[in-house]
Structure 1
């Protein structure tokens, strides 16, 4: 779990002792500690302006804010955010909870989130659930203990306790990467069900006749489950008479090796498959690499699609046909929604559908 940097920890004073004090050792009184007044003198502004620049930068002009920040760097001043937070009842932190911090799509969203929040003085606490609802619950409980000003959470399906904790906390919360008619607070994302159905429609329009859906459908990956369900619903309509083929690697990790395994399982269980629709670009990439090793021509022998439009999708050979979702924009829009709520500019709930698109490349 990655935590934001807070103010300095003040050590307790020396305990009473009969032993002589080592005069050669610097003490708190004998060392120079840069104060807020020092920064104010360096920046040639009032101490109140320095304080406001740290606590509420949105209330300070851009010119003055930059001047104060340069002076903070020049003097080496470290704001005591803990004391400031107690006085203002604001922690200037946002808790961000994602399934996997190593996934580029979630990393993109976090970069977008920070891009919006950092100029206003907010820092991120980041936690990874590993697609485990019980661990998400633990993270929410732990973060609430640190009094964040807002929550950014991937997903709209949680344990009852998680939902109740967030609702009762009244902390502005933005759920992402899915849409919901009953969000905890605000939601910014897209419909995984609609996106998966669009891929099945794309396969039908391209003339494929024997589709198979493949993924590692872990218990906590509710978005992958919605993609699978959309596939199951669409096949009878778009491919009349075709059996519904779903290959599930179970609790395997979301990595390239699982993509290779899913290709092997599909070729063994459903050799008639002519288009393989993966729940993630990571699986699709592993399958394409394995196909090249085994002499399977893509898309001639087998077409492949992914989901997510990860950076690697456009660098594979062949390049990957996939669903593109606005990863970074999810972060920036969610950050804007949170900032408006945390600053008190609005109390309105936001439901923002950023939609998706099908990116047709060489693999299908």
Structure 2
């Protein structure tokens, strides 16, 4: 704290055109341009009086610091990019909020792109983000096009894949096994006495996590219910929606009337199925039991409340943010694979 308290300078007027410069802010604050730079970049390096004068001048002029020069000097952009399938689902929103909280506390800004569960679109987004030189990238899922994987490897920046599990991650991975999580649900329903399950999800899309859940279902049925047919329904063009869940309930009653439990790849489908069962006058779980995946907020408020898998949404975001920041600080640190697990939640629907 070496700067003397500045005397009040004459008020400056902003130019009619162009952006406010560092020199203009310095003149208004009554300090040197280097003091303005230090006050913005590292307030501890200036006196409290100088800092307050600079902040008043910044507010009055709407000054926007130009980070380009400092970024070039440090070879860092102060940004991290994240690619999500969608932001309309609460589980991904929770992950992004937790990730952003970790990064912003460290002064790092988050850029966000959504792929719509399309790996080709994901590749386009990654290419665009890498052109802006982020310090790291967070991805949902561990299944990508070979082009995406190659770009991320060649970028030589920290990469954290999330919401999935792989023995061959690009760099770091923070998530859980979707396959094992669905297996745990099947183990529960078999223990509860159900013998004729049907799996339902969006399988013609490119959501690799849904396919992993289907694989877990099929393996568990073959192991726990030998001789039982493996029943699988695909929403196909109906995609992912509550309406698709209602459609699935109709399909299981029509195609597999013997089925005593509908195992949904997402709480979104399960919600639609429960509402459709109520519309049809079917008792859940009396006429057909229903399970979900994700433990969305609505799941505990349905009637009956939904049996599902609770995923560590917030924790995935927090740990991904921590890993990115650690790897930015130490580029030579070894990659980390962090399995956060999952929790089956048994409620009244199954």
TM-score, length of structure 1 as denominator length: 0.84
Are 2:38 and 1:49 aligned?
yes
Name 1:151's counterpart in structure 2.
137
Name 2:252's counterpart in structure 1.
266
- Picking from 321, 336, 346, the partner of 1:335 is 321
CA contact (8 A) 1:39 1:71 kept: no
CA contact (8 A) 1:131 1:220 kept: yes
- Picking from 287, 294, 303, the partner of 1:317 is 303
Name 2:4's counterpart in structure 1.
none
Name 1:230's counterpart in structure 2.
216
Q: 1:159-194 CA deviation, whole Å, 9 max, x = no partner?
A: 111100000111110000111111100000000111
CA contact (8 A) 1:53 1:68 kept: no
Counterpart Cα distance in 2 of 1:53 and 1:38:
20
TM-score, length of structure 2 as denominator length: 0.87
Name 2:104's counterpart in structure 1.
118
CA contact (8 A) 2:20 2:63 kept: no
Runs of 5+ unmatched residues, structure 1? 1-24, 55-59
Q: 1:145-171 CA deviation, whole Å, 9 max, x = no partner?
A: 111111000011111111000001111
Q: 1:92-139 CA deviation, whole Å, 9 max, x = no partner?
A: 111110111111111110001001000111112111111111111111
Counterpart Cα distance in 2 of 1:194 and 1:100:
23
CA contact (8 A) 2:39 2:54 kept: no
- Cα 1:327/1:264, change in 2 over 3 Å: same
Runs of 5+ unmatched residues, structure 2? 1-13
Counterpart Cα distance in 1 of 2:23 and 2:17:
12
- Which moved further from structure 2: 123-132 or 262-271? 123-132
Q: How many residues align?
A: 330
Name 1:19's counterpart in structure 2.
none
CA contact (8 A) 2:26 2:54 kept: no
Name 1:27's counterpart in structure 2.
16
Counterpart Cα distance in 2 of 1:224 and 1:290:
22
Matched residue of 1:304: which SS?
strand
CA RMSD of aligned residues (A): 2.7
